[in-house]
Amino acid sequence: MKAIVQRVAQASVTVGGEQISSIGRGLCVLLGISLEDTQRELEHMVRKILNLRVFEDESGKHWSKSVMDKQYEVLCVSQFTLQCILKGNKPDYHMAMPTEQAELFYNNFLEQLRKAYKPELIKDGKFGAYMQVHIQNDGPVTIELESPAATVDPKQLTKLEKQQQRKEKTRTKMPSESSRERNVPRNKDDPSASSGAEGDVSSEREP
């Protein structure tokens, strides 16, 4: 599980031109759920977010108080793109939890936040919607949080992902092999000889 936590002067979420949620001073949390996350990671993230000391105390000392200490608001926005793995320049989201499962998990996350803090101070966007998130970052202060189990080396893919990769390689490999057959080097004196450009598959590679 990954979260981008921003200390804000204010933040809001708009869907279809209508503002559906807003907060004053507090935290805006962009949350990305991975397919490997469990209740353990959820509880870890809830604790971290609510106890993160990014506010000043009464004497003005920085990094002394949490959002709970200050009784500020929290705006949460589901952000599956945080689970992106780049393949060349193309984002890949195989590490993100599937939509239906993720929605239940995200709602559970909100419920746990409200139980641990004050329900009326926890706001959220609209899961799965195309949102405009307006953030007035205060500082700016931006903290990246990651649950221990979510620290996954992209090379250490799950069995399911490896199977998916093999399927994709098989689909792309078949036309390549047939192209190679068409591009068997011919004698330069052969009038039917080809430059090989017709069967070039380099355009299929990632830039």
How does pLDDT run across 59-90, given as a tens digit for each residue?
A: 999 999 999 999 999 999 999 999 999 999 99
Helices 99-116 and 39-51, axial angle in degrees (round to 10): 40
CB 48 within 8 A of CB 1: no
pTM confidence score: 0.71
Lowest mean pLDDT among 38-52, 120-134, 140-154: 140-154
DSSP character at residue 55: B
Q: Within its chain, how far is the Cα of 22 from the centroid?
A: 22
Residue 169: per-residue pLDDT? 63
Cα angle 96, 102, 103; round to 5: 145
Write down all domains in the chain, each with its CATH number in brackets: 2-146 (3.50.80.10)
CA–CA separation, 28 vs 77, rounded Å? 8
Residue 30: per-residue pLDDT? 98
Please, what's the largest Cα pairwise distance for the chain?
88
Residue 201: per-residue pLDDT? 35
CA–CA separation, 49 vs 27, rounded Å? 9
Alpha helix (H) ranges present in the chain?
A: 39-51, 67-70, 99-116, 159-182
- Both tokens of 108, joined, read 């559970």
CB 83 within 8 A of CB 99: no
SS3 call for 92: strand
Cα angle 12, 105, 3; round to 5: 50
Listed residue (45, 3, 6) closest to 134, CA to CA: 6
**String of b and e for 117-126 (b: at least 16 CB within 10 Å)?**
beeebbbbbe
Q: Using 50, 70 and 90 to split pLDDT, how confident is the model at 119?
A: very high
- Both tokens of 44, joined, read 């870890």
CA–CA separation, 151 vs 2, rounded Å? 9
**pLDDT tops 70 at residue 154:** no
- Both tokens of 183, joined, read 């591009």
pLDDT tens track for 127-147: 999 999 999 999 999 999 998
**pLDDT tops 70 at residue 18:** yes
Whose tokens are 């052969």? That residue is: 190
